[in-house]
């Protein structure tokens, strides 16, 4: 078990294991008394406690709401994509033609453009589809 947190699916109350009511093997919500307790995690971005089903991440737990909100947040995407080969490839591809600010601007535009045509996860776009992103940028800047 990663941590000791639980959330009540019925009333939303959060608690540590020691604060849940015990009834034999069952854990009960100390607020509403139901047994719909789920393991929970703390979102690394917003700090909210959410059910483990509502968060993603290998090294980080990030809630679905934040993933949705951060799709176009370049600072955040760059941060999570740091050290990836893709980022290096992208930057060297564009470095001699554009400033960092221009590249970030273009990537943001490309992300939004891609999301309109075909909903795309920005993190996936930046970390796994480097050539695709570079091509998109190249096409856009040549029009
Ligand atoms: Zn409850
Ligand atoms: Zn969050």
Dump pLDDT digits (tens) for 116-134: 655 556 666 555 555 455 5
Cross-strand partners of 22: 27
- Nearest 5°: the CA angle 50, 56, 62 is 60
Domain residue ranges of the chain, discontinuous segments joined by +: 62-141
Nearest ligand atom owner, CA of 61: 2
Ion ligand 1, residue ranges at CB < 5 A:
8, 10-11, 13, 29, 31-32
Nearest ligand atom owner, CA of 49: 2
Query: Phi/psi at 85 (nearest 5 deg)?
Result: -60, -40
pTM of the complete model: 0.53
* pLDDT at res. 143: 54
From ligand 1's centre to the CA of 23, what distance in Å? 15
Dump pLDDT digits (tens) for 34-72: 999 999 999 888 899 999 888 876 556 778 888 777 766
Lowest mean pLDDT among 26-30, 32-36, 83-87, 89-93: 83-87
Q: Are 129 and 102 in contact (CB under 8 A)?
A: no
């Amino acid at each position: 078990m990663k941590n000791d947190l639980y959330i009540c699916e019925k009333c939303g109350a959060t608690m540590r294991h020691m604060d849940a009511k015990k009834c034999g093997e069952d854990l009960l919500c100390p607020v509403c008394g139901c047994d719909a307790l789920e393991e929970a995690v703390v979102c690394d971005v917003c700090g909210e406690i959410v059910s483990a089903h509502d968060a993603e991440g290998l090294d980080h737990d990030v809630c679905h709401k934040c993933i949705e909100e951060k799709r176009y947040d370049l600072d955040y995407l760059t941060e999570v994509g740091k050290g990836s080969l893709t980022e290096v490839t992208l930057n060297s591809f564009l470095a001699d033609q554009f400033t960092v600010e221009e590249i970030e601007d273009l990537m943001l535009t490309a992300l939004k453009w891609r999301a309109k045509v075909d909903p795309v996860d920005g993190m996936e776009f930046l970390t796994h589809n480097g050539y695709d992103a570079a091509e998109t940028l190249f096409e856009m800047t040549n029009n």
